[in-house]
Amino acid sequence: MATVVSQQAITSQRPSSNFKASHFLKEPLNVPIKLRQKQFKIQATASQAPLLDPVLSPSKTIPQSYKKKSNEASLILIRHGESLWNEKNLFTGCVDVPLTEKGVAEAIQAGKRISNIPVDLIFTSSLIRAQMTAMLAMTQHRCKKVPIILHDESEKAQTWSHVFSEETRKQSIPVIAAWQLNERMYGELQGLNKEETAERYGTQQVHEWRRSYHIPPPKGESLEMCAERAVAYFEDNIQPELAFGNNVLIAAHGNSLRSIIMYLDKLTSQEVTSLELSTGLPLLYIFKDRKFMRRGSPVGPTEAGVYAYTKRLAQYRQKLDETLT
C-alpha cells in the first residue's frame, strides 16, 4: 500500500518555508530547493537524498548525523538541443524558444549516451529548450525513473503538486528549474540574425560580443555577468548536492554552461573565449575529494571507457544490467 505522507509529517521535520511569491523575488536562490525539501524530503534515509541547506555550503549545514551517500558523484552537463532560433541563426538569449525536430532527436541521442550514468537530481534553466532537453534525455535512461518538475510559483502550486506515496517518490527524479542557469541575456541582439548583425557591426565586434568574457552585447550580459549568477547558483545549490554524493544532470545553455565549465576546469578569461559547446552534447565530470575531473563526452551507452572511470559508475551500470536483463 502506498505510504501517505502528510504535509504535517513533512513540515514537522523542518521549519515551514513560509513560501510566498515575494520570497521568490527576494531570495530566488533558495526557494527551489526549499520546495524540493518540502516535497521530497521525508527522512534522512530516503533514497532520494538528504537535502542540504540550499544557501550555505554543506560543511556549514549538514548536521554531523547525516552520512554522505558517497564521496564521489557524477555531474552531467548538456547544452539543449537545437532550437527554432538556432535553426534560423537568430540571437536567442533569454527568449523562450522550443526545440526543433532535430533538437528533439539530439536530446534523445544525448539521453542514450548517458543512459547508464546515475542521475539523482536534475537542474535546468527556466527556459523550455533546456527543460525539453532534460525531459527527452531522461526518457532514454535505463533507471526508468520519472523526472518531475518542482513548482514554486505559489504556495498552492507547491501544495497541489505534492506526491503522497513514498514508493512513487523513490521512482521520481526531482527537476529544479532555476533562472540563474538561463542563457546569457543578449540584450538588443535578441531576435536579430547573427550573420546580418556581423555584416552591420563587423565580424570582429560581433565575435567579441559573442565570445569575449568581459564585453557585453548592447544592453545585455557579458559572459562575466552571466557567470556571476550561474556559477553562484552552481556553488550554492548544486555543488553541495554533489558533495553529498548525489549525481546531478544540468541541462542549460551555451553560455551559462561555458561559464560553469570555466569554473570547473579553471579556465582563464582568455581560454574561455575559444570554448564552444555543440547542441545536445553531454559532458561528464566526476566530483571527488572536492575536485572536478573532466571525463569527456560519453560516446554511447555501452562505451567501456566511461564505466572504467570509477568503480561507482561501473557498479551502477552493472546493477542496471542485472536488474534489467
- The annotation places the binding site at 79-86, 92-93, 129, 183-186, 194, 210-211, 254-255
Q: Identify which of residues 91 and 244 has a Cβ nearer to ligand 2PG in the complex.
A: 91
Question: How many CB atoms sit inside 10 A of residue 35's CB?
Answer: 24
By CB under 6 A, tell whether 316 contacts ligand 2PG: no
Strand pairing class (146-149; 172-177): parallel
Annotated binding site for substrate: 79-86, 92-93, 129, 183-186, 194, 210-211, 254-255
Output the smallest distance, CB 126 to ligand 2PG, in A: 14
For 288, the grid coordinates are: 571527488
Among 19, 40, 186, 287, binds ligand 2PG (CB under 6 A): 186
Q: Is 106 a catalytic residue?
A: no
Rounded CA-CA distance 221/209 in Å is 9
Q: Active-site residue among 72, 80, 241, 253?
A: 80
Contacts of 185 (CB under 8 A, 6+ apart): 93, 94, 220, 221, 226
The amino acid at 90: L
Least Cβ distance, residue 92 to ligand 2PG (angstroms): 4
- Residue 197 engages ligand 2PG in binding (rule: CB under 6 A): no
* Interface segment toward ligand 2PG; rule CB under 6 A; list 11-19, 46-54, 63-71, 91-99: 91-99
- Active-site position among 72, 106, 183, 208: 183
**Cα gap 140→102, rounded to integer Å:** 16
- Quick one: DSSP state of residue 316? H
- Shortest Cβ 185–ligand 2PG spacing (Å): 9
- Residue 297, Cα to own-chain centre: how many angstroms? 16
CA distance 203 to 85: 20
80 is catalytic: yes
Nearest-approach distance from CB 28 to ligand 2PG, in angstroms: 21
Measured from the CB atom, is 38 or 80 closer to ligand 2PG? 80
93 belongs to the binding site for ligand 2PG (CB under 6 A)? yes
Between 195 and 235, CB nearer to ligand 2PG: 195
Q: C-alpha grid cell for residue 103?
A: 533538437
Distance between CA atoms of residues 57 and 70, nearest Å? 17
Give φ, ψ of 283 to 5 degrees: -125, 135
Q: At what angle do helices 194-201 and 203-211 cross, to 10 degrees?
A: 120
Nearer to ligand 2PG, 92 or 239 (CB): 92
| Helix spans in the chain (H) | 7-11, 21-26, 31-40, 58-61, 84-87, 101-113, 128-138, 155-160, 166-170, 194-201, 203-211, 223-233, 239-244, 254-264, 304-308, 311-324
User: Where does this chain touch ligand 2PG (CB under 6 A) — which range of 18-26, 90-98, 111-119, 132-140?
Assistant: 90-98
Q: What is the DSSP code (8-state) at residue 188?
A: G
Candidates 31-39, 64-72, 89-97, 295-303; binding stretch for ligand 2PG (CB under 6 A):
89-97
Least separation in angstroms between residue 9's CB and ligand 2PG is: 44
Binding to ligand 2PG in span 206-265, by CB under 6 A: 210, 254-255
Going by their DSSP bridges, the two strands 172-177 and 121-124 should be labelled as parallel
Stretch that binds ligand 2PG, among 5-13, 86-94, 137-145, 158-166 (CB under 6 A): 86-94
- To ligand 2PG, the closest distance from the beta carbon of 273 in angstroms equals 12
Which residues are near ligand 2PG by CB under 6 A? Answer: 86, 91-93, 183, 186, 210, 254-255
